[in-house]
Chain A
Amino acid sequence: DAGVTQSPTHLIKTRGQHVTLRCSPISGHKSVSWYQQVLGQGPQFIFQYYEKEERGRGNFPDRFSARQFPNYSSELNVNALLLGDSALYLCASSLVGGIRSLAKNIQYFGAGTRLSVL
C-alpha cells in the first residue's frame, strides 16, 4: 500500500513568488495535516483538514492557505514567498481528525517537499 505521497520533492522559488504543494494521504485516511520543519527543529503545525473542513490552524500568516479535496488529497499554498519560508514542508495523514481517539489520530508523514526561496 502506498504511504503519504507529496509533490514536488524539491522546489526553488524566488522572493515574492507563490508555491503550491500537493499531498495524497494513505488510502482510507480522511485527515491531512501540514507542518513546516526548519533545520534543527521539530515540525511546526500549519493546518489540519478533516472531511474537507479546516479543523486547526497554527501560528502562520495569512500568506499560508490550504484546502482538502473530495478525494481527501490536499494542497498547501504559500503566497509572497519570503526567504524565511525556506524549509521542509511535511504532510501527514491520519484516519480521523481531532483528539478523541489518539489511536485513530496517529499521524503518518510523507517524505516532504524541500522548498528553497532565493
Chain B
Amino acid sequence: GQNIDQPTEMTATEGAIVQINCTYQTSGFNGLFWYQQHAGEAPTFLSYNVLDGLEEKGRFSSFLSRSKGYSYLLLKELQMKDSASYLCAVSWVSGNTPLVFGKGTRLSVIA
C-alpha cells in the first residue's frame, strides 16, 4: 500500500510554533510535498523534499528522513491566517500516480 498518515486535527496559539507530522511507506519513495488548503479553496504548494534534511522558506520549514519514512512541516510565529488544512503528498517511483495525498491535518490557530 501507499498509506500516508498525518494527524487529523491540531490546535495552536497565535505566535507559537507547531509541527505537523507525516509518515509514509518508504518503498519506492521519490519525494514529498506539502500543500496548504484553506476551506473552500484550492491547495497551494508550500514545499517539497527529496533528500534528507530541513528546507526552510520563511516561517515555514519542512523536514525529511527517507530512511524513517517521516516528514514534518514546521510553522513558526503562527498567525490566524495559518488556520487551514495541511496536506502531505508523496511521489513514488513506481505506479502511475503523480501524487498520493494524505487526508490532511486541519490546523486551528487560536488567540
Which residues of A are interface residues toward B (Cβ below 8 A)?
4, 33, 35, 40-45, 48, 55-58, 90, 94, 97, 99, 102-103, 105-112
Contact = CB atoms under 8 A, between A and B. Distances in A.
Interface of B: 30-31, 33, 35, 41-45, 48, 50, 87, 89, 91-93, 95-104
Given A102-B31, A103-B48, A111-B42, 16 more contacts: A4-B42, A42-B87, A45-B98, A45-B100, A48-B96, A55-B96, A99-B92, A99-B93, A102-B50, A105-B98, A106-B33, A106-B45, A107-B45, A109-B35, A110-B42, A111-B41
Contacts of B42: 4, 90, 109-112
Contacts of B92: 99
Given A102-B30, A107-B98, A41 B104 contact: yes
